[in-house]
Amino acid sequence: MPESGRDVVLVVDDSPETLSFLTAAIEATGATVLVAVSGAAALAVVQEITPDVILLDAMMPGLDGFETCRRLKTDAALAHVPVIFMTGLSETEHIVRGLEAGGVDYVTKPISPGEILARIRVHLANARASQSARLALDSAGRFLLAVDAAGAIRWCTPQAGKLLRALDPAAAEPALPPIAAAWLRSATAAPLTLPAGDGGRLQFSRIGRVGADEVLLRLARDGEGGEVERLRRDLGLTAREAEVLLWVSRGKASRDIGAILSLSPRTVTKHLEQIYAKLGVENRTAASALVARTLQEPRA
């Protein structure tokens, strides 16, 4: 098993020379390298160990890299793992195929050690930032989910998953209902409200984009304002200001709030300036105290 704390890189290639070359270069950085000589072998490896990043040869006999990547991305436990394609083909159609299959980047052969190591570092950092934000959302009990342009769920917090199951109790996994997928494609700004299987109603609202191909949505039971709505209404804030303020009250730094809400730290700071002015407070401590009082007060 890989040593705790070490990055784990899975290299998938049918060329022994490429595997040897990349293993030596990556292990020199202190990372642990797993190897697979085929797409099928890679799928077997990830059932035992979840890598931090995958380097995947696009053109292999049998199960090629494109199909291997598609199968990897159907596993929710692997959806966040960045896949970097390695290919001797630089034609646009092959690059597009790799990205459409779920890859985040590609390098062309012959591979430069410096280039591949730099790309690994960048995508590891991006993946960790994304995971950190998602863990923060999960721990805070948020009803959030991210979907792709077609409406397929990329990830959702446990609380959002429970609400989605209320729409279709028979479904094996949480899924966006067809009418919600159509609403997503329509790009309308108005929320969508649907009847839930338990007799209640659920409301879908857009929050914004997460990266280039994910849309972040909020779920709420119709009639339940939620903490953000409570702060927005009672303190006279915009919805975005209420979201920022709620995370401030949870002790999150501006950089963390930016990662969670897909905002730059500078934009978060601008929102805080507006929030402080509206609330008549001077710092985070006073703002957080006001949030606590507001959420503890009985609903009007």
pLDDT tens digits for range 77-88: 787 889 999 987
Average pLDDT of span 186-203: 73
Mean pLDDT, range 243-268, rounded to an integer: 83
Average pLDDT over residues 131-145: 60
Of 4-8, 28-32, 61-65, 252-256, give the lowest mean pLDDT range.
4-8
- Output 30-36 pairs: Cβ under 8 A, ≥24 positions apart: 30/6, 31/6, 31/7, 31/120, 32/2, 32/3, 32/6, 32/7, 32/8, 33/9, 34/2, 34/8, 34/9, 34/10, 35/10, 35/11, 36/10, 36/11, 36/12
Whether the pLDDT of residue 297 is over 60: the answer is: yes
CA-closest candidate to residue 107, choices 117, 98, 116, 120:
116
Angle, to 10 degrees, between the axis of helix 65-73 and the axis of helix 92-100? 20
The predicted model gives 134-149 an average pLDDT of 66
Please report the pLDDT score of residue 168 as a whole number: 76
Quick check: 42 pLDDT over 70? yes
Closest CA to 191 of 200, 199, 202: 202
User: Under CATH, which number does the domain 8-134 receive?
Assistant: 3.40.50.2300
Domain ranges for the chain: 8-134, 145-223, 225-300
CB 160 within 8 A of CB 147: no
- DSSP state letters, 152-215: -EEEE-HHHHHHHHHH-TT-SS----HHHHHHHHHT-SS-EEEE-TTS-EEEEEEEEESSSS-E
Indicate if the pLDDT at residue 141 is higher than 50.
no
Secondary structure class of 242 (helix, strand, coil): helix
pLDDT at residue 274, rounded to an integer = 94
Q: Which residues pair with 155 in a beta bridge?
A: 146
Residues 6+ apart with CB under 8 A from 165: 171, 174
Ramachandran angles phi, psi of 155, nearest 5°: -165, 160
Measure CA 50 to chain center.
17
Nearest alpha carbon to residue 72 among 97, 47, 43: 43
Which of the pair, 227 or 97, is modelled with greater confidence?
97
Residue 72 predicted with pLDDT over 60: yes
pLDDT confidence of 127, banded at 50, 70, 90? Answer: confident
* Calpha distance 87→146 (Å, rounded): 30
Q: Does residue 5 carry a pLDDT above 60?
A: no
C-alpha span between 158 and 21 (Å, rounded): 41
Over range 290-298, report the average pLDDT: 80
Size (the chain), residues = 300
Write the DSSP symbol of residue 298: P
Whether the domain at 8-134 and the domain at 225-300 fall into the same CATH topology? no
The rounded mean pLDDT for the chain is 82
Q: Which of the pair, 48 or 207, is modelled with greater confidence?
A: 48
Its CATH architecture, for the domain 225-300, is Orthogonal Bundle (1.10)
**For residues 184 and 1, which has the higher predicted lDDT (pLDDT)?**
184
Asked if 176 and 230 touch (Cβ cutoff 8 Å), the reply is: no
| Alpha carbons 230 and 140: distance in angstroms, whole number | 16
β-pairing, 8-12 with 53-57? parallel
Percentage of the chain with pLDDT > 90? 31
**Cα angle for residues 266, 157, 189 (degrees, 5° grid):** 60
Residue 260 scores a pLDDT above 80: no
What number is the average pLDDT over the span 149-164?
80
Pairwise pLDDT comparison (127 vs 99), residue with the higher score: 99
| pLDDT tens sequence across 221-237 | 654 446 777 888 889 99
Instruction: Name which residue leads in pLDDT, 24 or 87.
Output: 24
SS3 string of 146-167?
EECCCCCEEEECHHHHHHHHHH
| Lowest-pLDDT range of 55-64, 93-102, 103-112, 222-231 | 222-231
Amino acid 192 reads L
Q: What is the pLDDT of residue 225?
A: 47
